[in-house]
Amino acid sequence: MTRFDLRRQDCVKGMSRLGDESVDLVVTSPPYNLGISYGKYSDRQDRESYLNWCGEWAKQIRRALKSSGSFFLNIGAAPSNPMLPHEIVMALRGSFELQNTIHWIKSIAIDDRCSRRPAGNVTRRQQTDRSRAFHRKAATAIRSYGHFKPISSKRFLNDCHEYIFHFTKTGRVELDRLAIGVPYQDKSNIARWSHTRGSDLRCRGNTWFVPYETIQNREKERPHPATFPVQLAEWCIKLHGVKRVETMLDPFLGIGNSAVAAQRCGVKNFIGFEIDETYLAEAKRRIG
């Protein structure tokens, strides 16, 4: 059973009271400073003030994080402000090593025509005719998965992904890569490749497709303007290694998706800070 310590408090002040190297894992997503309408937080600071603030909470995370710990930071951008995630990474360079960069894919369109190529012993004319028919059909064989917020623009593409930056103190923290591994599509690889060691799992890699769950009423089902899915936090916990996580921290708790993930994974202790009493109440309700 997970023991929760959820506090309505500014995270910089709250983390200053945590013991040195007392936390094994941090999974969080701070305000992006993109003008999102939060309840109690103004998401419109000037760039320099915002980055200085990021440096402040990063220093507290570093102090509280164990040398063997992992810090997973989810950051998004706006098409008109694409450098923000990278500027945050640069602001944190004095506190952490960037060990991995993960791309969280929220929506993707897949052209599956490659799995339906024309085959067989046919004449060149037949092959040409079949190819034309195939490509006409393939034009409609695109499948879309996940959810995205449409952008009405003649300059920018729809924004279908965000970053998860994996920070550590040393850049040398070992991970449980197969805890979120995926089966081999070609099973002959299991015997052919020595690195598989007979296991039908490979590293998932640094591109994670994690769509939002479909909801009918945002105010009731997801009463927060910027959340990551519970599954995303679960994968971060499992990747670091569930057995190695005794205490987990989320300095920007929101409605508690990271807390729910900790509960599902059986993390022993979870600490969360949130300044908005409405979000905090919802987080407590969800783990209750």
Residues 6+ away with beta carbon under 8 Å from 66: 21, 22, 23, 24
pLDDT at residue 188, rounded to an integer: 85
Looking at the chain, list the stretches that DSSP marks H as alpha helix, in order from N- to C-terminal side.
Answer: 11-15, 47-64, 84-91, 124-138, 188-192, 218-221, 230-240, 257-265, 277-287
Percent of the chain with pLDDT over 70: 82
> Which tokens is 70 given?
């992992």
Q: If you average pLDDT over each of 120-124, 133-137, 180-184, which comes out highest?
A: 180-184
- Whether the per-residue pLDDT at 84 is higher than 80: the answer is yes
pLDDT at residue 79, rounded to an integer: 83
Instruction: Fill in the DSSP letter of residue 106.
Output: S
Distance CA 221, CA 214 (A): 10
CB atoms within 10 A of CB 81: 15
DSSP string of 194-208?
A: GGGTT-S-B---SEE
Residue 67 or residue 200, greater confidence: 67
Domains of the chain: 3-106+160-287 (3.40.50.150)
Q: Is 26 left (phi over 0), alpha (psi -120 to 50) or beta?
A: beta
Distance CA 230, CA 142 (A): 28
- pLDDT-based confidence at 118, cuts 50/70/90? very low
> pTM to 2 decimals?
0.85
Distance CA 279, CA 224 (A): 7
